[in-house]
Structure 1
């Protein structure tokens, strides 16, 4: 690979200085150091032989970033997409093309999410506010020999500010477009000389930006005979999708009697009560809708979450068009140093959440074959991690650890999927589910880091994981009676699907510091995403035979980390090659699971199986510069491509010639300048640009060509004034500066073949806000 060769050549050609460089004339013009703990020891970012994007709290604020999904804009080859629609309050997380989009707790995330070293086991509830953070670390590539839970694609770690001995606080208020109100506050205080406490909270509220329009009101005398509803308001608008209504609080108490013992207990609570995501119809086939076009406009929908009478539905009804989520957790993180060379860390956590949301699966105001769902998901999670860190004199360091988690979900749902087989009695495809899903994972891991000679570091890691998952299916009538149907849905009632597996992963790495300013590294590592069971079977045999194995990855990576011009310029680069096996893909032919010859299964299919292999490769560049005092520039560029080497015949929606991942290109650029106005304080303008290449949306039909979201570039701007003491800041911010219209790269088109519609979530239009922040 020519890119890898040139990167390594640059590192080898660098002179090997023995002494630290002379300090820059002005420290304000040097790149700020960020200390990370990706290897469970405090290291400077430039000393860590991993591909990491690290962002501190100041940079998050200057970029207007307040929730985790926004971090992806500046992180190379990272995609974090709020899902909405049929997937509730969840987030699709991908790093280097590897991740997961389906919120169902039967499936494993491909990217590990951590808050204060506590693992978040599901995609639901992962669109978190960046409340009172110290920094964010985005680790690319398989994690596991150093991380509590195995993560095939990478890990995203959030670290909140620890309580300390200072008495301090902050209050911030913002008002903006569509009645946006943001309130944030934090307080830190010492209870005693050794006990400290920190409390923080956030409240966010904003009106939605996609109008829900009453079709009958807006189209009087329509051919469908739909009349205006009694609740129609001005301009026939009955509601707005895409609103915000979020509250979060966090409290932590820290006991730190000496440098040998440090114990922090954290509790948090979050609550959402808002309308569903801002969806609009983006694909329309009027031949399926009797010639009626149900598209409404760029920020408009006729969806009313309505279902006509039929089957068990004696009269028409509507699903909720809003979402509620409440979640809380407690954790304990204790570190005890037995000696200067031996340290023990224990992390214990318990989390629980409850989410309710409804779906309108076709986004039309009326359809006799459409689908809808009511979803009620509860989740409980316990985890325990124990690590021992030690040193081997000056030769090296080692880590031994164990991880255990136990989780239980109960997924209650009321489904109306009469669209699956049009023309049959609707009652056969209307059911209630109340499914418990239990899972646990046990792991032991270890890493040794050796320094055999000056400048050279060798790292080896090993991990053993054993996991279990079981899914019990409930399929009964809405009234609680026995569901008898010709498809086998009712026969699922009481069926249990089980998965048990174990896996060994490893990592070897070498890095060499050619000078204080140049370090190069090479790594080979493996990872996996746990196996599981098919969560949406249509027959009992699909459930019991639908267990799938882990998907696996062998990743090869090389990179350099460099500082130039007296640390005024930082350039980090990496290249990678992923060998991806047994990918867990949705199949459309369940013949083998149901015991039929291939292609002859009469039953619908929505199973997951190990149905593909492929290769991925690419590179990443990250830059930060302070060319003159006050001026700061940061940027990133990434590319990824690859190809399929195997696609199962059970998969009809993907062809071997299709892209295995997209987008290929991403880049970002941020520029800010602190203008010193003496006794009048400072004025800081900042501009951020983020470009995403075109992204595949898949096919609307098996014979149709691929659809793509077009490439787009978004811009955000911010102007901040601070008083001379820098304890008061007033900011004006504008997001989506050029008012770009775009949709997120997830399209819900499960009903396109039946109802002729597919819908997507619209990105937020241009928004402004003014904020005031006071620090005490």
Structure 2
């Protein structure tokens, strides 16, 4: 059992003295000592966020799961510019990026569950939704978080309402819906590292029944290193440039019927993500010993020559210096209030995405191991929901769901493994169908009970080719599962809400990502079994007093047949296998918000212990899963004469050390050091609120940290963050 004392001891051992001093102030917020005018304190109010985590609007305190919510209009002042930044401020959430070195990849890990690969035969364990539409692929879909109404992070399995691929949790991005208001917003940023960012948002009512909004954005940032052996490379290491747009049209002919049609797209280009290769540490025969076709004995100095740093890249292959992505989407949401009690909703979407990326795994000028690759995916989804009230005590949501995805990944003649072409062709079509229902009933004024069921059928048709001599190998498999949930909410006399939830989750089996095992066993291209999860959780959330909000959750989640990806260099290529494990994740999470007069502070703490059953004589670890996460964000607004104001905000984020892959605890070679990041934002707003101009700093102490590490057996790939310090000015206005 985890106690407050245990957490305090862990904090004390992991955090810097400054961070610890700030962290330990959190429990005393309910007894503030800040001197403020009594009348101002009396007028200080919270506005509780309404969320749609249960697919119907609820105040966040009423949702019987652990959830964090972010107001879209306040993301910039917190230093959040993409989903990776969101991962710095949610307890037990870590967002990383690897995926063939692409700068736009997003890989969330919640409570020890996630996936750092991107190939079409793999599925993430945390689902991402935009306006109710599931995003099957994250590479090539660079969400810049403009035009965002709200972001919700749901922690724990969400198998009933969100279905497959949400065994770790779900992230909901809700955009701003068109309305009859006339509004234009302009946001710009100019900063160090060549930052140039601009976005335009326009909302306008065309007629009494028709309205639209649109968002156009441009975002550019320089890199952190150079391709020292490719002088004509178009982009530097880590350089990014992205153009995106989104148009929504809403037709509301009556109070009972509304339809929203949305089209979006983005194009991104840039340089390969920063990474380096560690050769000396393993001293393999093939690389360190020179037992390769070139007969070249490699060292770390071949990867990082004298006079350069690890953010430079020594590849001699132009094909792996650049990355690109594009995505297109079209979605239609229709709602019909059939009567006062029932609403019918249809969400239909089609999306496509493409990317180009790839790594030079040996990291040197020699043509040994480089893998430029391309991928694409097309998906279609349809969800039909019926929600409403059976009587004054009972409400429900029920639905039918269909999802289809076709995708492929290609490594061709321009890739090589030890100087010969390293072919990889993967194709997969996935079809998923589901039916679900969730019912909530108020038993008394204080006590409510809810429960849900979902039945899912999945089918995958996959093929792989790693050699023209072997040819293409085909395989098909199907899975089905019933997931369920039961939860209770109780409102105490002081207004706080306690809840207890038992929920299950499910994910269909997965095929090997890089099946070079086909050279020795043509039957190795088979999918794993159903992945299942059961989560037990209790928590309390709500308003302690008029100044202080709190949410606490304690959980225990059991996972069966969970695939860990293990990559290694073999005689035939860079092979990735699924290692099937049984895992238990348990921990505690705290979210708080404090407001008193002109002062406010958010804070979150997550502590987690992940236990994995022993495998073949050694004990794996959950990859990219820190056992301690912490975020603190104080803010103070200075009122000036005449009504002008200056708001000062700082945000601190901590992630403890973790492992880059599920290697044995005895191996320290893939361990990632802990990291502490600090953002600051100083914003001036005149009395008429005509504009806001701010000085910002992100990662102000220039913390350089590892994003991931892979031990291939011959070398270690050290994936570096693209998150160096940045300072600049932000300007926003609306009219």
TM class by shorter chain equals 0.7 to 0.9
Cross-structure match for 2:709: 747
TM (normalized to structure 1)?
0.83
8 Å Cα contact 1:578-1:617 kept in structure 2: yes
Could you tell me how far apart the structure 2 residues matched to 1:394 and 1:561 are? 25
1:532 aligned residue (493, 501, 510) = 510
Who is 1:383 aligned against?
Answer: 381
- The structural deviation recorded for 1:431 is 4.3
Q: Distance in 1 between matches of 2:49 and 2:185?
A: 23
Residues 60-81 of structure 1: per-residue CA shift (max 9 Å, x gap): 1210211111101110101111
Q: Paired residue for 1:666?
A: 629
Q: What does 1:167-246 correspond to in 2, within 5 Å? A: 167-214=182-229, 231=231, 240-246=236-242
Q: 1:328 to 1:569 in 2, by over 3 A?
A: same
Aligned counterpart in structure 2 of residue 632 of structure 1, from 594, 600, 612:
600
Q: Secondary structure at the match of 2:86?
A: helix
The yes-or-no answer on 1:76 pairing with 2:91 is yes
Which residue number in structure 2 is paired with residue 550 of structure 1? 530
Structure-2 separation of matches of 1:282 and 1:291: 8
* Alignment partner of 2:686 out of 704, 723, 726: 723
Does the aligned pair in 2 maintain the 1:86–1:361 contact within 8 Å?
Answer: no
Q: CA deviation at 1:454?
A: 1.8
Query: For the Cα contact (< 8 Å) 1:520–1:559, is it kept in 2?
Result: yes
Check conservation: 2:387, 2:395, Cα contact below 8 A.
yes
Question: Structure 1 unaligned runs (5+)?
Answer: 8-22, 215-228, 307-317, 477-482, 484-489, 591-600
Match of residue 646, structure 2, among 657, 662, 683: 683
Does the 8 A contact of 1:254 with 1:265 survive in 2?
A: yes
Q: 1:552 to 1:31 in 2, by over 3 A?
A: same
Q: Is the 8 A contact 1:698 1:707 kept in 2?
A: yes
2:66 counterpart of 1:51: yes
Q: From the superposition, tell whether residues 706 and 356 of structure 1 become closer, same or farther in structure 2 (CA, over 3 Å).
A: closer
Matching residue of 1:494: 472
Question: Offset at 1:659?
Answer: 5.9
How far the C-alpha of 1:24 sits from its partner, in A, is 8.9
After superposition, the Cα gap between the structure-2 partners of 1:626 and 1:407, relative to the gap in structure 1 and judged at 3 Å, is: same
| Correspondence for 1:412 | 410
Which residue of the partner structure matches residue 314 of structure 2? 303
TM-score w.r.t. length of structure 2:
0.88
- Secondary structure of 2:227 counterpart: strand
> For the structure 1 residues 509 and 585, does the alpha-carbon distance in structure 2 shift closer, same or farther, using more than 3 Å as the test?
same
8 Å Cα contact 2:146/2:215 also seen in 1: yes
User: Is residue 293 from structure 1 mapped to residue 301 from structure 2 by the alignment?
Assistant: yes
What is the CA-CA distance between 1:343 and the residue it aligns to? 0.8
Give the deviation of 1:41 after TM superposition.
Answer: 1.3
Cα deviation for residue 339 of structure 1 reads 1.1
Say whether residues 1:738 and 2:704 are aligned partners: no
Match for 1:162 among 171, 177, 180? 177
Q: Distance in 1 between matches of 2:667 and 2:124?
A: 30
Shift of 1:2: 5.5
- Asked whether the 8 Å contact 2:370–2:416 carries over to 1, the reply is no
Residue 539 of structure 2 corresponds to: 559
Once the two structures are superposed, residues 17-44 of structure 1 have per-residue CA deviations (whole angstroms, 9 ceiling, x without a partner) of xxxxxx9965762233211011111111
For 1:579 and 1:416, the matched residues in 2 are separated by: 43
Unaligned runs of 5+ in 2: 8-37, 290-296
Query: Where do residues 275-674 of structure 1 align in structure 2 (5 Å cutoff)?
Result: 275-281=271-277, 284-285=280-281, 287-288=288-289, 289-290=297-298, 293-294=301-302, 295-296=304-305, 297-306=308-317, 318-366=318-366, 370-414=368-412, 419=417, 427=420, 430-475=421-466, 483=468, 490-491=469-470, 493-515=471-493, 517-538=495-516, 539=518, 541-542=521-522, 545-566=525-546, 568-586=547-565, 606-609=575-578, 611-627=580-596, 629-647=597-615, 649=616, 655-656=618-619, 658=621, 662-674=625-637
Contact 1:342 1:388 in 2 (8 A): yes
How many angstroms apart in 2 are the aligned matches of 1:660 and 1:238? 34
1:467 CA drift (Å): 0.5
* Rounded Cα–Cα distance in structure 1 between residues aligned with 2:539 and 2:666: 42
- In the TM superposition, residue 547 of structure 1 has moved relative to its aligned partner by 1.8
- The structure-2 alpha-carbon separation of the partners of 1:146 and 1:586, relative to structure 1 and needing over 3 Å to count, comes to closer
Pick one of 763, 766, 772 that aligns with 2:725: 766
Deviations 1:675-722 (A, max 9, x none): 111326111111000011111134889985454222221100011001
Q: 1:721 to 1:122 in 2, by over 3 A?
A: same
Q: Distance in 2 between matches of 1:530 and 1:55?
A: 30
- CA distance in 2 between counterparts of 1:664 and 1:439 reads 34
Alignment match, 1:111: 126
Partner of 1:593: none
- Cα-Cα RMSD: 2.8
Q: 1:292 to 1:274 in 2, by over 3 A?
A: closer
Q: Deviations over 1:290-348 (max 9, x none)?
A: 55623245453342243xxxxxxxxxxx4231111111100011111111111111000
Specify the SS of the correspondent of 1:90.
Answer: coil
Deviation at 1:57, TM superposition (A): 1.6
Q: Could you say which structure has the larger radius of gyration?
A: 1
Partner SS, residue 135 of structure 1 = strand
Q: How does 1:4-19 map to 2 (within 5 A)?
A: none
Partners of 1:183 and 1:246 in 2: how far apart? 11
State how far apart, in whole Å, the 1-side matches of 2:2 and 2:679 are: 35
Taking a change above 3 Å as real, the CA distance of residues 403 and 639 of structure 1, as seen in their structure-2 partners, is same
Among 263, 267, 270, the alignment partner of 2:266 is 270
Of 531-540 and 518-527, deviating more is 531-540
1:556/1:269 Cα in 2 relative to 1: closer, same or farther (>3 Å)? same
CA drift of 1:3 comes to 4.4
Paired residues, number: 688
Rounded to whole Å, the distance in 1 between the matches of 2:87 and 2:217 is 22
Question: Does the 8 Å CA contact 2:329/2:350 hold for their aligned counterparts?
Answer: yes
Quickly say closer, same or farther: Cα 1:542–1:155, change in 2 above 3 A: farther
State how far apart, in whole Å, the 2-side matches of 1:608 and 1:699 are.
Answer: 12
Instruction: Decide whether the 8 Å contact of 1:496 with 1:544 is kept in 2.
Output: no
Q: In 2, Cα distance between the equivalents of 1:270 and 1:435? A: 25
Relative to structure 1, is the Cα distance of residues 140 and 658 closer, same or farther in structure 2, using a 3 angstrom cutoff?
closer
The structural deviation recorded for 1:602 is 9.1
- 1:160 CA drift (Å): 0.7
SS of the equivalent of 1:301 reads coil
Paired with 1:717 and 1:500, the residues of 2 have a C-alpha distance of 50
- The alpha-carbon distance between structure 1 residues 86 and 471, as it changes in their structure 2 partners (threshold 3 A), is farther
How many angstroms apart in 1 are the aligned matches of 2:462 and 2:213?
Answer: 40
- 2:256 equivalent in structure 1: 260
Change (3 A) 1:140 1:415: farther
Task: Find the residue that maps to 1:453 and give its secondary structure.
Answer: coil
More displaced 10-residue stretch of structure 1: 493-502 or 613-622: 493-502
> Contact 1:371–1:416 at 8 Å: present in 2 too?
no
Query: What is the Cα deviation at residue 359 of structure 1?
Result: 2.0
Q: Label 1:276 to 1:256 Cα distance change in 2 as closer, same or farther (>3 A).
A: same
- Provide the C-alpha distance between the structure 2 equivalents of 1:507 and 1:24, rounded to a whole number of angstroms: 45
Q: Is 2:201–2:215's contact at 8 Å kept on the other side of the alignment? A: yes
Conserved in 2, the CA contact under 8 Å of 1:362 and 1:757?
A: no
Q: Classify the secondary structure of the residue corresponding to 2:575.
A: coil
CA distance in structure 1 between the aligned counterparts of 2:391 and 2:41, rounded to whole angstroms: 37
Q: Tell me whether 78-87 or 676-685 shows the greater mean CA deviation.
A: 78-87
- Whether the 8 Å CA contact 1:334–1:347 is kept in 2: the answer is yes
Distance, in Å, in 1 between the alignment partners of 2:485 and 2:443 is: 18
Q: Is the 8 A contact 1:242 1:277 kept in 2?
A: yes
